[in-house]
């Protein structure tokens, strides 16, 4: 159930992160944004468990997932803008 919950929270976090971090370097597609949000939720869960913020098997909450999604969107924006410049 933990993975399914992380995917659902990641979906919501991806949508919220798109509104929090608007700009031209973000992924344009809704599906890609939500996938990056899900990846952000998994990153936040992994990072939180590594730092001891979450117990093993406990997932990131909505705020942690949004922060993870914003980080993933920022990294994606840097990578995609670097590829356009070349």
CB atoms within 10 A of CB 1: 7
pLDDT for 34-50, tens place per residue?
788 888 888 888 888 88
Q: What is the DSSP letter of 67?
A: H
Percent of the chain with pLDDT strictly greater than 70 = 84
pTM score above 0.85: no
pLDDT for 14-32, tens place per residue?
788 777 776 655 556 777 7
Instruction: Please report, for the chain, how many H helices and E strands are present, in that order.
Output: 3, 0
């Amino acid at each position: 159930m933990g993975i399914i919950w992380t995917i659902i929270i990641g979906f919501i976090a991806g949508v919220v992160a798109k509104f929090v971090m608007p700009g031209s370097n973000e992924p344009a597609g809704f599906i890609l944004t939500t996938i990056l949000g899900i990846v952000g939720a998994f990153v936040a869960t992994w990072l939180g468990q590594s730092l001891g913020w979450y117990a093993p098997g406990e997932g990131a909450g909505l705020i942690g997932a949004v922060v993870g999604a914003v980080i993933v969107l920022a990294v994606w924006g840097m990578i995609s803008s670097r590829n356009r410049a070349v």
